[in-house]
Amino acid sequence: MTKAGDHYQLREQDGTIIVFRADGQLDYIENANGYRITAEYTGDLLTQLSASSGDSFTISYSDQGRISTITDQAGQTTAYTYDSTGQFLNSVENSTGTTSFTYGHPYDPTALTSVTYADGSKVTYDYDELGRLQQVIQGEGRDALAYTYTYDGSGGYTITDPSGASTTVVYNDDQSLTVTDPLDRAFQYSYDAAGNLVAINGELGFSASFTYDDSGNVTSQTNALNQTTQFTYDADNLSGFTDARGNDILYGYDSRGNLTSITYEDGTQNKYLYDANG
Protein backbone atom coordinates (compact mmCIF):
# COMPACT_ATOMS: atom_id res chain seq x y z
CA MET A 1 0.00 0.00 0.00
CA THR A 2 1.29 3.46 -0.90
CA LYS A 3 0.30 6.95 0.25
CA ALA A 4 -0.65 9.69 -2.20
CA GLY A 5 -1.52 12.95 -0.48
CA ASP A 6 -4.17 12.19 2.12
CA HIS A 7 -5.19 8.93 0.39
CA TYR A 8 -3.84 5.39 0.53
CA GLN A 9 -3.65 3.21 -2.56
CA LEU A 10 -3.51 -0.56 -2.87
CA ARG A 11 -2.71 -2.05 -6.27
CA GLU A 12 -3.70 -5.68 -6.93
CA GLN A 13 -1.77 -8.00 -9.26
CA ASP A 14 -4.49 -7.74 -11.92
CA GLY A 15 -4.08 -3.95 -12.05
CA THR A 16 -7.09 -3.11 -9.89
CA ILE A 17 -6.56 -0.02 -7.73
CA ILE A 18 -8.29 0.34 -4.36
CA VAL A 19 -8.07 3.83 -2.84
CA PHE A 20 -8.90 4.68 0.77
CA ARG A 21 -9.42 8.08 2.36
CA ALA A 22 -7.38 9.28 5.32
CA ASP A 23 -10.16 8.12 7.68
CA GLY A 24 -9.85 4.57 6.31
CA GLN A 25 -13.09 4.60 4.32
CA LEU A 26 -13.11 3.35 0.74
CA ASP A 27 -12.89 6.16 -1.82
CA TYR A 28 -13.02 4.20 -5.07
CA ILE A 29 -12.10 0.97 -6.85
CA GLU A 30 -10.82 1.12 -10.42
CA ASN A 31 -10.00 -1.87 -12.61
CA ALA A 32 -7.21 -2.09 -15.15
CA ASN A 33 -9.54 -0.83 -17.90
CA GLY A 34 -10.38 2.37 -16.03
CA TYR A 35 -13.84 1.25 -14.89
CA ARG A 36 -14.36 2.98 -11.55
CA ILE A 37 -16.82 2.61 -8.68
CA THR A 38 -16.82 5.57 -6.28
CA ALA A 39 -18.18 5.54 -2.73
CA GLU A 40 -19.91 8.43 -0.96
CA TYR A 41 -20.72 8.69 2.73
CA THR A 42 -22.93 10.55 5.17
CA GLY A 43 -20.95 10.50 8.37
CA ASP A 44 -19.70 6.95 8.70
CA LEU A 45 -22.49 5.44 6.59
CA LEU A 46 -22.00 4.47 2.96
CA THR A 47 -24.87 6.22 1.15
CA GLN A 48 -24.00 5.96 -2.54
CA LEU A 49 -22.00 3.89 -5.03
CA SER A 50 -21.50 5.40 -8.47
CA ALA A 51 -19.92 3.64 -11.46
CA SER A 52 -18.19 5.29 -14.39
CA SER A 53 -20.73 3.50 -16.62
CA GLY A 54 -23.51 5.63 -15.13
CA ASP A 55 -24.92 2.95 -12.85
CA SER A 56 -25.47 3.97 -9.24
CA PHE A 57 -26.99 2.80 -5.98
CA THR A 58 -28.29 5.05 -3.20
CA ILE A 59 -28.48 3.51 0.27
CA SER A 60 -30.60 4.56 3.25
CA TYR A 61 -30.53 3.23 6.80
CA SER A 62 -32.84 2.56 9.72
CA ASP A 63 -32.43 4.22 13.11
CA GLN A 64 -30.50 1.11 14.16
CA GLY A 65 -27.97 1.60 11.37
CA ARG A 66 -29.26 -1.25 9.22
CA ILE A 67 -29.73 -0.86 5.47
CA SER A 68 -33.40 -0.04 4.86
CA THR A 69 -33.45 0.72 1.13
CA ILE A 70 -31.20 0.47 -1.92
CA THR A 71 -32.29 2.44 -4.99
CA ASP A 72 -30.63 2.14 -8.39
CA GLN A 73 -30.20 4.82 -11.06
CA ALA A 74 -33.52 3.83 -12.66
CA GLY A 75 -35.42 4.42 -9.42
CA GLN A 76 -35.94 0.73 -8.65
CA THR A 77 -35.92 0.25 -4.88
CA THR A 78 -35.24 -2.79 -2.72
CA ALA A 79 -36.48 -2.39 0.86
CA TYR A 80 -35.30 -4.32 3.93
CA THR A 81 -37.07 -4.77 7.27
CA TYR A 82 -35.75 -6.21 10.53
CA ASP A 83 -37.03 -7.51 13.84
CA SER A 84 -37.29 -5.20 16.85
CA THR A 85 -33.67 -5.86 17.83
CA GLY A 86 -32.38 -5.06 14.36
CA GLN A 87 -30.44 -8.30 14.43
CA PHE A 88 -32.54 -10.41 12.07
CA LEU A 89 -33.65 -9.62 8.53
CA ASN A 90 -37.43 -10.06 8.32
CA SER A 91 -38.14 -9.25 4.68
CA VAL A 92 -36.75 -8.07 1.37
CA GLU A 93 -39.17 -6.30 -0.98
CA ASN A 94 -38.59 -5.23 -4.58
CA SER A 95 -40.57 -4.91 -7.80
CA THR A 96 -41.04 -8.69 -8.01
CA GLY A 97 -42.58 -9.00 -4.55
CA THR A 98 -41.54 -9.78 -0.99
CA THR A 99 -39.29 -12.50 0.42
CA SER A 100 -39.71 -13.06 4.16
CA PHE A 101 -37.63 -14.88 6.77
CA THR A 102 -38.42 -16.48 10.13
CA TYR A 103 -36.02 -17.50 12.89
CA GLY A 104 -35.98 -19.38 16.14
CA HIS A 105 -35.57 -23.10 16.78
CA PRO A 106 -35.82 -24.89 20.15
CA TYR A 107 -32.12 -25.76 19.92
CA ASP A 108 -30.99 -22.43 18.45
CA PRO A 109 -33.14 -19.28 18.72
CA THR A 110 -31.01 -17.53 16.07
CA ALA A 111 -31.38 -20.26 13.44
CA LEU A 112 -33.16 -19.53 10.16
CA THR A 113 -36.32 -21.67 10.12
CA SER A 114 -38.11 -20.63 6.93
CA VAL A 115 -37.93 -18.51 3.79
CA THR A 116 -41.09 -17.56 1.91
CA TYR A 117 -40.44 -16.24 -1.59
CA ALA A 118 -42.32 -13.67 -3.63
CA ASP A 119 -44.05 -16.39 -5.67
CA GLY A 120 -45.46 -17.93 -2.49
CA SER A 121 -43.11 -20.91 -2.39
CA LYS A 122 -41.63 -21.78 0.98
CA VAL A 123 -38.52 -23.54 2.25
CA THR A 124 -38.40 -24.73 5.88
CA TYR A 125 -35.27 -25.65 7.84
CA ASP A 126 -35.02 -27.97 10.86
CA TYR A 127 -32.01 -28.64 13.10
CA ASP A 128 -30.83 -31.27 15.56
CA GLU A 129 -29.88 -30.67 19.19
CA LEU A 130 -26.33 -29.74 18.14
CA GLY A 131 -27.58 -27.03 15.81
CA ARG A 132 -26.76 -29.02 12.68
CA LEU A 133 -29.07 -28.86 9.68
CA GLN A 134 -31.36 -31.89 9.87
CA GLN A 135 -34.00 -31.32 7.24
CA VAL A 136 -34.82 -28.95 4.38
CA ILE A 137 -38.43 -29.01 3.19
CA GLN A 138 -39.34 -27.38 -0.11
CA GLY A 139 -43.02 -26.54 -0.39
CA GLU A 140 -45.91 -27.42 1.91
CA GLY A 141 -48.54 -30.11 2.35
CA ARG A 142 -48.67 -33.05 -0.01
CA ASP A 143 -46.41 -31.28 -2.49
CA ALA A 144 -43.61 -30.86 0.04
CA LEU A 145 -40.20 -32.30 -0.81
CA ALA A 146 -37.91 -33.17 2.10
CA TYR A 147 -34.12 -33.45 2.09
CA THR A 148 -32.72 -35.01 5.27
CA TYR A 149 -29.24 -34.81 6.76
CA THR A 150 -27.72 -37.37 9.12
CA TYR A 151 -24.24 -37.25 10.65
CA ASP A 152 -21.57 -39.66 11.79
CA GLY A 153 -19.21 -39.01 14.69
CA SER A 154 -16.34 -37.72 12.55
CA GLY A 155 -17.93 -34.82 10.72
CA GLY A 156 -19.25 -36.89 7.84
CA TYR A 157 -22.84 -36.72 6.72
CA THR A 158 -25.49 -38.25 4.46
CA ILE A 159 -28.00 -36.29 2.40
CA THR A 160 -31.16 -38.14 1.39
CA ASP A 161 -33.38 -36.58 -1.28
CA PRO A 162 -37.18 -36.88 -1.61
CA SER A 163 -36.86 -40.01 -3.77
CA GLY A 164 -34.84 -41.78 -1.07
CA ALA A 165 -31.54 -41.54 -2.96
CA SER A 166 -28.61 -40.62 -0.75
CA THR A 167 -25.14 -39.13 -1.03
CA THR A 168 -22.64 -39.82 1.76
CA VAL A 169 -19.50 -37.87 2.63
CA VAL A 170 -16.96 -39.55 4.95
CA TYR A 171 -13.81 -37.89 6.29
CA ASN A 172 -10.94 -40.37 6.46
CA ASP A 173 -8.03 -40.53 8.93
CA ASP A 174 -5.54 -39.53 6.20
CA GLN A 175 -7.41 -36.21 5.68
CA SER A 176 -8.97 -37.45 2.45
CA LEU A 177 -12.71 -37.73 2.02
CA THR A 178 -14.87 -40.32 0.31
CA VAL A 179 -18.09 -39.38 -1.46
CA THR A 180 -20.56 -42.14 -2.31
CA ASP A 181 -23.25 -41.11 -4.77
CA PRO A 182 -26.85 -42.40 -5.08
CA LEU A 183 -25.67 -45.15 -7.46
CA ASP A 184 -23.31 -46.42 -4.73
CA ARG A 185 -20.23 -45.23 -6.62
CA ALA A 186 -17.44 -44.15 -4.29
CA PHE A 187 -14.88 -41.46 -5.09
CA GLN A 188 -11.96 -40.59 -2.84
CA TYR A 189 -10.57 -37.04 -2.82
CA SER A 190 -7.06 -36.47 -1.44
CA TYR A 191 -5.48 -33.14 -0.51
CA ASP A 192 -2.02 -31.83 0.27
CA ALA A 193 -1.06 -29.85 3.38
CA ALA A 194 -2.07 -26.60 1.66
CA GLY A 195 -5.56 -27.90 0.97
CA ASN A 196 -5.02 -28.43 -2.75
CA LEU A 197 -6.84 -31.36 -4.36
CA VAL A 198 -4.06 -33.73 -5.50
CA ALA A 199 -5.93 -36.91 -6.45
CA ILE A 200 -9.34 -38.34 -7.23
CA ASN A 201 -9.82 -42.10 -7.33
CA GLY A 202 -13.07 -43.86 -8.09
CA GLU A 203 -14.97 -46.76 -9.55
CA LEU A 204 -13.76 -48.75 -12.58
CA GLY A 205 -10.25 -47.39 -12.38
CA PHE A 206 -11.19 -43.72 -12.62
CA SER A 207 -8.39 -41.48 -11.41
CA ALA A 208 -6.99 -38.00 -11.79
CA SER A 209 -4.01 -36.34 -10.16
CA PHE A 210 -2.88 -32.73 -9.94
CA THR A 211 0.31 -30.83 -9.11
CA TYR A 212 0.69 -27.20 -8.09
CA ASP A 213 3.27 -24.44 -7.95
CA ASP A 214 4.06 -22.38 -4.84
CA SER A 215 1.27 -19.94 -5.72
CA GLY A 216 -1.35 -22.68 -5.77
CA ASN A 217 -1.71 -22.75 -9.55
CA VAL A 218 -2.36 -26.14 -11.15
CA THR A 219 0.77 -27.10 -13.12
CA SER A 220 -0.28 -30.54 -14.32
CA GLN A 221 -3.29 -32.81 -14.57
CA THR A 222 -2.92 -36.55 -15.22
CA ASN A 223 -5.79 -38.91 -16.03
CA ALA A 224 -6.24 -42.66 -15.58
CA LEU A 225 -4.46 -43.35 -18.90
CA ASN A 226 -1.40 -41.53 -17.58
CA GLN A 227 -2.01 -38.70 -20.05
CA THR A 228 -0.78 -35.40 -18.69
CA THR A 229 -1.68 -31.80 -19.47
CA GLN A 230 0.90 -29.21 -18.38
CA PHE A 231 0.04 -25.61 -17.45
CA THR A 232 2.43 -22.63 -17.39
CA TYR A 233 2.03 -19.16 -15.91
CA ASP A 234 3.63 -15.75 -16.11
CA ALA A 235 3.65 -13.42 -13.11
CA ASP A 236 -0.13 -13.03 -13.05
CA ASN A 237 -1.86 -15.21 -15.62
CA LEU A 238 -2.08 -18.61 -17.28
CA SER A 239 0.32 -18.22 -20.21
CA GLY A 240 -0.35 -21.54 -21.90
CA PHE A 241 -0.75 -25.28 -21.66
CA THR A 242 0.46 -28.40 -23.40
CA ASP A 243 -2.07 -31.19 -23.81
CA ALA A 244 -1.41 -34.93 -23.61
CA ARG A 245 -0.61 -35.05 -27.34
CA GLY A 246 2.03 -32.35 -27.06
CA ASN A 247 -0.06 -29.58 -28.61
CA ASP A 248 0.66 -26.11 -27.25
CA ILE A 249 -1.90 -23.36 -26.71
CA LEU A 250 -0.55 -19.94 -25.72
CA TYR A 251 -2.36 -16.99 -24.15
CA GLY A 252 -1.40 -13.33 -24.61
CA TYR A 253 -2.39 -10.42 -22.36
CA ASP A 254 -2.14 -6.65 -22.43
CA SER A 255 -0.57 -4.55 -19.66
CA ARG A 256 -3.92 -4.46 -17.87
CA GLY A 257 -4.18 -8.24 -17.70
CA ASN A 258 -6.88 -8.57 -20.36
CA LEU A 259 -6.69 -11.66 -22.56
CA THR A 260 -5.73 -10.40 -26.04
CA SER A 261 -4.91 -13.56 -27.97
CA ILE A 262 -5.02 -17.35 -28.03
CA THR A 263 -2.48 -19.02 -30.30
CA TYR A 264 -3.00 -22.66 -31.28
CA GLU A 265 -0.55 -25.39 -32.25
CA ASP A 266 -1.15 -24.80 -35.98
CA GLY A 267 -0.39 -21.09 -35.64
CA THR A 268 -3.97 -19.84 -35.92
CA GLN A 269 -5.04 -17.14 -33.48
CA ASN A 270 -8.08 -15.69 -31.81
CA LYS A 271 -7.68 -12.02 -30.88
CA TYR A 272 -9.71 -9.93 -28.44
CA LEU A 273 -10.27 -6.17 -28.10
CA TYR A 274 -11.81 -4.30 -25.15
CA ASP A 275 -13.67 -1.06 -24.62
CA ALA A 276 -13.11 1.27 -21.66
CA ASN A 277 -15.35 -0.87 -19.43
CA GLY A 278 -13.35 -4.04 -20.16
Rounded to whole angstroms, how far apart are CA atoms 28 and 46?
12
Query: What pTM was estimated for this model as a whole?
Result: 0.76
pLDDT at 275: 78
Rounded to whole angstroms, how far apart are CA atoms 63 and 61?
7
CA 226 from centre of chain: 32
pLDDT at 32: 82
pLDDT at 204: 86
pLDDT at 277: 66
- The phi, psi pair for 86, rounded to 5°, reads 80, 5
pLDDT at 278: 66
pLDDT at 162: 96
Question: Which stretches of the chain drop beneath a pLDDT of 70?
Answer: 276-278
pLDDT at 18: 96
Rounded to whole angstroms, how far apart are CA atoms 77 and 14?
33
Residues comprising the chain, all counted: 278
Encode pLDDT of 39-79 as tens digits.
999 999 999 999 999 999 999 999 889 999 999 999 999 99
pLDDT at 172: 93
The per-residue DSSP string of the chain comes to -EEETTEEEEE-TTS-EEEE-TTS-EEEEE-TTS-EEEEEEETTEEEEEEETTS-EEEEEE-TTS-EEEEEETT--EEEEEE-TTS-SEEEEEETTEEEEEEEEETTEEEEEEEEE-TTS-EEEEEE-TTS-EEEEEESSGGG-EEEEEEE-TTS-EEEE-TTS-EEEEEE-TTS-EEEE-TT--EEEEEE-TTS-EEEEE-GGG-EEEEEE-TTS-EEEEEETT--EEEEEE-SSSEEEEE-TTS-EEEEEE-TTS-EEEEE-TTS-EEE----TT-
Structural domain spans, the chain: 1-54
